[in-house]
Amino acid sequence: MSTESEACLILKPEVSRDEFHVSAKRIGLIFSEAFPSDGDCLAYEEVWAMPSLERPVSAVNYVEDPLTNNNYLILRGNEVIGLSRKFAHNVATYSKDELIADAMKAVGHNEQVRAINRLALGFTVLDPAVFVILGTFATKAENSLTREAAINAIGFRWWPEFQNGLRIISERDPAENVRQKAKLVLAHWPLGNT
């Protein structure tokens, strides 16, 4: 039995909204509401729930995110592990190993940014490999825009392990855009995550 928690499953590009709907209904989720996208920054989002009279409700948010260029599911509640398994059997999602491997082999700015974003979204708890990969992209990527994207992705989760590195980047990175992004992420860092 799982406890109250959260997970994020990154959908593979071939998974359509309709395919997600079919899977959600097959799993027993009930549609609750939808929030439209503005097409640029604001994600399209649907909320689905697994009702239960005996325990708290588990919820699934289906998200089409134009900022990260990814579609993903946010699972919350007491059935996260079971729901994760059911979705993994019903729709194409990236495994944790695939997220790490894709980030390590990504070539070119756009591919690297997509992989960085998937990695940061897909891991709700920091994994040592994720720490190394994101840290390497944030400090060693040749393209300053890639370094900036890695810092932005680090800001998705506010992992305290990155704070000191972000301070160093904010002072020493050779590119102004990277230093400013690190300062911005640090300025918005939640007080409880230090």
- For residue 2, the model assigns a pLDDT of 34
Cα dihedral 82→84→88→90 (10° resolution): 70
Q: Are 57 and 50 in contact (CB under 8 A)?
A: yes
At residue 53, the 3 state secondary structure works out as coil
Distances in whole angstroms, Cα of residue 43 to Cα of each of 6, 36, 71, 108, 122: 19, 7, 9, 25, 17
Q: At what angle do helices 17-27 and 80-90 cross, to 10 degrees?
A: 130
Residue 165: CB atoms within 10 Å: 17
For residues 85 and 74, the answer to whether their CB atoms sit within 8 Å is no
First to last CA, the chain: 31
Which pLDDT score is estimated for 194? 59
Residue 3 confidence (pLDDT): 43
What is the mean pLDDT for each group of 10 consecutive residues in the chain (194 residues)? 71 97 95 91 93 72 94 92 93 97 96 96 95 97 98 94 96 97 94 62
Quote helix, strand, coil % in the chain, to nearest 5: 50, 20, 30
R_g of the chain, CA atoms, integer Å:
18
What pLDDT score was predicted for residue 168? 97
Q: How far apart are CA 138 and CA 70, in angstroms?
A: 20
- CA separation for the pair 22, 90 (Å, rounded): 9
Q: Which residue has the tokens 């904010």?
A: 170
In angstroms, rounded to a whole number, what is the distance separating the alpha carbons of residues 113 and 149?
A: 6
Contacts of 110 (CB under 8 A, 6+ apart): none
Q: Tell me if the pTM is above 0.85.
A: yes
- Residue 57 is given by DSSP the state P
